[in-house]
Amino acid sequence: MGFKIGKKIRAVIRRDKEVMLTTTKGEHPLVSVSGDGDYITDIEGNRFLDFATFISVYNFGVNSSKEVRNAVKAQIDKLMHAAFTDFYAELPVTFSENLVKMFPKGFGRVFFSNSGSEANEAAIKFSRIFTKKQYILAFYNSFHGRTLGSLSLTSSKLAQREHFGPFNSAIHVPYAYCYRCPFGKEYPSCGIECVDYIRKYPLSKEVSPKEVAAIFMEPIQGEGGYIVPPKEFVKGIREIASDNGFLMVADEVQSGYFRAGKFLALDNFGVEADMYTMAKAAGAGLPIGITVTRKSLGDTPPGAHSNTFGGNLVSVAAANELLNYIQKNKSKLESDAKTKGAYIMKRLNKMKDSYEIIGDVRGMGMMIGVEFVRDRKSKEPAAKERNKIMEECFNNFLVLLPSGVSTIRIIPPITMSMANIEKGMDVIDGSISKINRQLKVG
Ligand SMILES: Cc1ncc(COP(=O)(O)O)c(C=O)c1O
């Protein structure tokens, strides 16, 4: 028996539409009430397998572990808020000391906020104050947040930007989206023209490198379509930043916390940034934004940047307990993400052999995207069909999220059992097969 919208679901959705301003809610009528590990339970008692982790937040299981929940409960009973930016508290300091051990040598300064957007806002301001320069380079298709500073860098969809300008001084450059190369080339014979382009055009004709504070980069683009660039591209960006004396900021808000197989996705490329931003999975379900800087960049002057809730004790209690778990289980998490990710990729590539509607399969670790096309030659995006595939999966109790124009992201908890991963992939296979058949007939 497939999913059926019950009365309770209908009622909540109706009330939501009356009172809430519209955000980014999709078509899935998922009204969650509880979760445990691999599953989400809705208001009618339906259990859904989670291949979306509420946007890569529950990387280590829905509703996180008992240990995390106990740490949160214990902190609530002691003290929830201590205005950590204005006074002192030990827990956020301990957490930061342990956190920086997960970063390359030389990383040692941490700033806390409440979200990925804010972590990037901070990184924009820090880039400017550390370099005393103003411009930021960012990529087309990127997503760095929706607050005005971070939105100045975001450029994955017009709807996100329309009517919100004027923006900060950001200059956008093409990302290595090899399936749809902006230069019409093929990798690797392209010679990574997208890197040369930045040197030849924006940095030679539009903005003096002397005025550029930083280049912001998602090591793997998330909202823009789960786009995995070639290693040479990421290395090339690092070189451009170093050669021209500006900073490289890695936005690991979605790709971090083992999502792409390593704690930092950028480590997959053998590249170090000068600043990293994180959020989503870091708080194990509670809001936290983290900006980590290279110690040699120095410190910010008193009063230059701060906030109210950064370092909130409850969020940090969750983040700290999660970090303890991660540090104890690092190699297992890495190998799980690798083997489970490889299994998912293998299944998807096999599906690609059978279903014309699959244009591209790409991913690293368990950060995997499938891009759908109406025609493999023209690569016309199959956006409607992608939505139908997601709907079909949902009707079979599998939660997925879209990305880009016609991509589905596959991001289960890294801790998900193999049996459940297989189960989810079977649902995906059946759903794609059905919609692929309809595409052929239509
Ligand atoms: C790469 C990246 N950066 C920043 C953000 C913004 O994070 P938040 O929604 O927590 O503000 C997101 C959110 O999806 C993201 O994927």
Q: For 270-308, how does the pLDDT look when each residue is reduced to its tens digit (9 = 90+)?
A: 999 999 999 999 999 999 999 999 999 999 999 999 999
d(CA 52, ligand 1 centre) in Å: 15
Select from 328, 347, 368 the last residue of a domain. Answer: 328
Determine the residue of 253, 275, 286, 409 to mutate for testing ligand 1's pocket, defined as the one with the most ligand atoms within 8 A of the Cβ atom: 253
Asked if residue 134 belongs to a domain, the reply is yes
Query: pLDDT band for position 434 (50/70/90)?
Result: very high
Asked if residue 220 belongs to a domain, the reply is yes
Q: Alpha carbon 83 to chain centroid distance?
A: 28
d(CA 353, ligand 1 centre) in Å: 33
pLDDT at 218: 98
- Give the amino acid at 370: V
The answer on 234 and 144 residing in a single domain is yes
3-state helix, strand, coil in the chain (%, to 5): 45, 20, 40
pLDDT at 26: 82
- Give the amino acid at 117: S
- Give the amino acid at 183: F
Asked if residue 306 belongs to a domain, the reply is yes
The answer on 342 and 262 residing in a single domain is no
* Contacts of residue 414, Cβ cutoff 8 Å, sequence gap at least 6: 59, 60, 258, 259, 333, 336, 337, 340, 365, 366
What's the whole-number mean pLDDT along residues 340-345?
A: 98
Asked if residue 2 belongs to a domain, the reply is no
Asked if residue 299 belongs to a domain, the reply is yes
Q: Is 9 in a helix, a strand, or coil?
A: helix
Atom of ligand 1 nearest to the CA of 120: 4
Q: For 28-85, how does the pLDDT look when each residue is reduced to its tens digit (9 = 90+)?
A: 999 999 999 999 999 999 999 999 999 999 999 999 999 999 999 999 999 999 999 9
Query: pLDDT band for position 1 (50/70/90)?
Result: confident
Select from 278, 294, 328 the last residue of a domain. Answer: 328
Per the structure, the count of domains in the chain is: 2
Per the prediction, the chain carries an average pLDDT of 97
The answer on 315 and 265 residing in a single domain is yes
The answer on 248 and 104 residing in a single domain is yes
Select from 328, 348, 381 the last residue of a domain. Answer: 328
d(CA 223, ligand 1 centre) in Å: 8
Atom of ligand 1 nearest to the CA of 289: 10
What are residue 174's phi and psi, to 5 degrees?
-70, 145
Atom of ligand 1 nearest to the CA of 115: 10
Q: For 232-273, how does the pLDDT look when each residue is reduced to its tens digit (9 = 90+)?
A: 999 999 999 999 999 999 999 999 999 999 999 999 999 999
The answer on 319 and 295 residing in a single domain is yes
The answer on 280 and 424 residing in a single domain is no
d(CA 166, CA 308): 27
d(CA 145, ligand 1 centre) in Å: 5
The answer on 18 and 81 residing in a single domain is no
Q: Is 58 in a helix, a strand, or coil?
A: coil
The answer on 146 and 186 residing in a single domain is yes
d(CA 123, ligand 1 centre) in Å: 13
pLDDT at 442: 61
The answer on 34 and 56 residing in a single domain is yes
d(CA 302, ligand 1 centre) in Å: 27
Within 10 angstroms of residue 46's Cβ, the number of other Cβ atoms is 16
pLDDT at 394: 98
pLDDT at 21: 95
d(CA 32, CA 252): 27
What's the whole-number mean pLDDT along residues 394-411?
A: 98
107 forms beta bridges with 294
pLDDT at 288: 98
**What range defines the domain where residue 371 resides?**
7-63+333-441
82-111: burial string, b at 16+ Cβ within 10 Å, e else: bebbeeebebbeebbeebbebbeeebbbbb
The answer on 359 and 322 residing in a single domain is no
The answer on 354 and 300 residing in a single domain is no
Q: Which residue owns the Cα nearest ligand 1 atom 9?
A: 116
Around ligand 1, the residues with Cβ closer than 6 Å are 55, 115-117, 120, 143-145, 218, 222-223, 251, 253-254, 279
d(CA 190, ligand 1 centre) in Å: 31
Asked if residue 429 belongs to a domain, the reply is yes
Instruction: Indicate if the pLDDT at residue 27 is higher than 90.
Output: no
Asked if residue 1 belongs to a domain, the reply is no
Residue 239: CATH number of its domain: 3.40.640.10
Burial tier of 387 (Cβ tally within 10 Å: 0-12, 13-18, 19+): middle
What's the whole-number mean pLDDT along residues 169-175?
A: 96
d(CA 291, CA 109): 8
The answer on 158 and 88 residing in a single domain is yes
pLDDT at 439: 81
Counted residue by residue, the chain has a size of 442
Query: pLDDT band for position 390 (50/70/90)?
Result: very high
247-258: burial string, b at 16+ Cβ within 10 Å, e else: bbbbbbbbbbbb
Residue 419: CATH number of its domain: 3.90.1150.10
